[in-house]
A and B are shown apart, each in its own frame.
Chain A
């Protein structure tokens, strides 16, 4: 932060793409306001300094997940990151595990493609309205807090660094939320183990660290699905039972 002509300003450097598919950081000075978040600063740049800056946001309340970006090397929601929690320079980049659209906007469409491949919800025959006990609601409630910001997909080294054929943490959360639904009849651990590449996840928990909704992605979704896959594929004692099922 610097003091200039009595007005407090911050320096923010924002990744800008150019026409040739390249890009680089550009520095901007933004006046500070009390309680300001990174999204405010970025929007200030867009409104007052350079209107060509491409950004994506909707709710500014950490609910829609569209303002996901990398702030000083950590995937975060711009609208949930206060300026005063950052020491020193602020550097904002798009989520670079995905292809770029422009500036801070990443193309997250691969996630919609993956989502369509997860075996869909298949409820068993039951009298309508369904009666579901509270104890069976609690577990999947955590997974349904997901706002699809895809920060977890962005931080996951399997996707980002190795581009391996792994659906990614968000989609394991989705599969787990369906699998653990008391009315559902499908076991998606088979899909996850075979086509979904869940074996690529080495439980290093970066996804869990960045999730803005505090979902225990690795502990409650990935490891549980890995254990289910182990039941089916790696546990000789259970194979016979599986066949009988």
Chain B
């Protein structure tokens, strides 16, 4: 549609072509390459040095198996919080909101979430899959406690991690849409008042979605490193409560 805007040459030349791999992925972008290489190295290390579990403590990256990592990974890749982050800091569209600090963005063609990046709209499916995986995390808390007959610091970390993942999932925009976002008239619906209260409750968490996404990711890494340290024999676990 025409909105009476004077066209940007780069953009109009580009959008006239239908491309499968968008410009964002083809242009020279050290940030993107560095990111791909780092993720590649991390995955490679996780596969060749697996610490699936140690003393009954299951590493969250391997819960229930590392094979589901792509699903969890794609859930985060299509998550609105991380979308903001990589569109800003990897693709630099725009790297900052302040006007003078993003000149280079205008000189590069842009597809945003049209074209290739439309796959981000599949976020809801990765959400459903992640919800199905969630019970395994709760089972791992049980296992961590039952295996050792005690609540240990490691078990506590695993429990905190599970709660953080749960809250992160709960604050998801796609879930918010499903539970109340798509409703236009709560008053016309059965139990509308309660549904609206629930929607407001979830919206409260949703407002902190970006922070939750990062806290939960960092916790994953932390627990993983912690369990690896235990596996290497570092004496950093201690009992909090004997059962």
Contacts and interface: CB of A to CB of B under 8 A. Distances in A.
A155 B94 CA distance: 10
Among B15, B101, B181, B188, the most chain A Cβ lie within 10 Å of the Cβ of B181
B228 to A, nearest CB: 34
Q: Interface size class for chain A?
A: 35 or more
B42 interface: no
Interface string A185-208: 000000000011101111111100
B72 to A, nearest CB: 20
Contacts of B55: none
A74 B12 CA distance: 27
A110 B97 contact: no
A161 interface: yes
A120 interface: no
Contacts of A206: 94, 97
Contacts of B206: 219
Contact of B124 (A73, A133, A230): A230
Contact of A200 (B10, B106, B112): B112
Contact of B3 (A73, A113, A135, A234): A113
Contacts of B29: none
Interface stretch (B32-40, B82-90, B143-151, B235-243): B82-90
Given A110-B3, A219-B206, A161 B8 contact: yes
Contact of B101 (A73, A136, A203): A73
A136 B118 contact: no
A231 B122 CA distance: 10
Among A206, A209, A233, the most chain B Cβ lie within 10 Å of the Cβ of A206
Given A210-B97, A219-B206, A223-B80, A158 B182 contact: no
A160 B103 CA distance: 11
Nearest to A209: B97
Contacts of A200: 110-114
A164 B110 contact: yes
B113 to A, nearest CB: 5
A109 B3 CA distance: 10
A89 B207 CA distance: 35
B112 A158 contact: yes
A161 B102 contact: yes
Interface stretch (A14-22, A26-34, A176-184): A176-184
Nearest to B122: A234
Interface residues of B, number: 54
A231 B102 contact: no
Interface in A197-238: 197, 199-206, 209-210, 216, 219, 223-224, 226-231, 233-235
A235 B83 contact: no
A182 B112 CA distance: 31
A199 B124 contact: no
A234 B99 contact: no
B76 to A, nearest CB: 14
B105 A161 contact: yes
A159 interface: yes
Given A195-B1, A203-B80, A74 B112 contact: no
Nearest to B111: A200
A163 B184 contact: no
Contacts of B1: 117, 165, 195-197
Contacts of B105: 157, 161-162
B30 to A, nearest CB: 20
Interface string B1-16: 1111111101110010
Interface string A94-114: 001001000000000110011
B93 A135 contact: no
B87 A202 contact: yes
Given A197-B1, A200-B113, A230-B121, 14 more contacts: A74-B99, A136-B186, A157-B102, A157-B105, A163-B8, A180-B184, A182-B186, A204-B84, A216-B207, A219-B207, A224-B181, A227-B177, A234-B121, A235-B121
10 contacts: A110-B4, A110-B5, A136-B187, A157-B93, A159-B5, A163-B5, A163-B11, A164-B11, A164-B112, A210-B97
